[in-house]
Amino acid sequence: GAVVSQHPSWVICKSGTSVKIECRSLDFQATTMFWYRQFPKQSLMLMATSNEGSKATYEQGVEKDKFLINHASLTLSTLTVTSAHPEDSSFYICSARGLAGPTEYQETQYFGPGTRLLVL
Amino acid sequence: DAKTTQPNSMESNEEEPVHLPCNHSTISGTDYIHWYRQLPSQGPEYVIHGLTSNVNNRMASLAIAEDRKSSTLILHRATLRDAAVYYCILRDVYYGGSQGNLIFGKGTKLSVKP
């Protein structure tokens, strides 16, 4: 099956610093990548959607200047949490949508393993 | 967005079949029914999807009602590893723009007893 990787898997940082999270589709080209956030015991919340070479589209209530998304290629997207604060501590999950195999006729969305961020 | 309704939680015994229901009475003709599951501390995992006909793959089966207003995810023999939150999500087949985004509800938390 299709594989989406994230790096790092967890990060602890001091308040006020910036943290970059990488998301890669390892064996397929992603036409669209997504970033979700999940707080404890809650469901995933979509933060933003991005296409390669285009500006990301952010969901309502998500600060685009705080959560910078760069979609550099069809296999790589990065999320930078700028000036992180304790309330940004969460589980960040990326997702990539594409055709993951020669027999697929419709794009499927695959998820990375998540990055746990703790801001002290 | 078309919405789905799932039970908050279900229990199953190991090695028994599990039927996870999902209601989607406002489904449109172009909505696919997707199922994902999320194991603790992991990202969601694709399980199966379908439009009108029942679907089978190595992980599960998806039974879709004739009127498409409900569906059931079937795990044929539950294992301890199947304990997860299962999400039933509708996604427009014309996935350009925000219509194609997967929006997660609360899902069903499945517990599997040995």
Q: How far apart are CA A37 and CA A39, in angstroms?
A: 7
Q: How far apart are CA A110 and CA A68, in angstroms?
A: 21
CA dihedral B105, A105, A112, B3 (to 10 degrees): -10
What is the edge-to-edge ordering of all strands in the sheet holding A67-73? A4-7, A19-25, A76-81, A67-73
Tens of pLDDT along B10-52?
Answer: 999 999 999 999 999 999 888 899 999 999 999 999 999 999 9
Q: How far apart are CA A21 and CA B42, in angstroms?
A: 16
**pLDDT score at A86:** 96
Alpha carbon of B44: minimum distance to chain A alpha carbons (Å): 6
Contact B98 A57 (CB under 8 A): yes
Residue B87 at interface with chain A, using a CB cutoff of 8 Å: yes
Bridge-partner residues for B72, per DSSP? B21, B63
pLDDT-derived band at A54 (thresholds 50, 70, 90) equals confident
- Phi and psi torsions of A87, nearest 5°: -70, -10
Contacts of A6 in chain B (CB under 8 A): 43
Amino acid, single-letter form, for residue B59 = M
Residue B95 at interface with chain A, using a CB cutoff of 8 Å: yes
Alpha carbon of A36: minimum distance to chain B alpha carbons (Å): 10
Contact B46 A106 (CB under 8 A): no
From A107, A108, A113, residue closest to B43, measured CB to CB: A113
Tens of pLDDT along A60-107?
Answer: 999 999 999 998 888 999 999 999 999 999 999 999 987 666 555 567
**pLDDT score at A29:** 86
Q: How far apart are CA B38 and CA B24, in angstroms?
A: 21
Contact A114 B41 (CB under 8 A): yes
Residue B8 at interface with chain A, using a CB cutoff of 8 Å: no
Q: How far apart are CA B25 and CA A113, in angstroms?
A: 32
Residue B101 at interface with chain A, using a CB cutoff of 8 Å: yes
Q: How far apart are CA B88 and CA B107, in angstroms?
A: 7
Q: How far apart are CA A65 and CA A120, in angstroms?
A: 21
Quick check: B5 and B107 in contact, CB under 8 A?
no
Chain A and chain B share a number of CB contacts under 8 A equal to 52
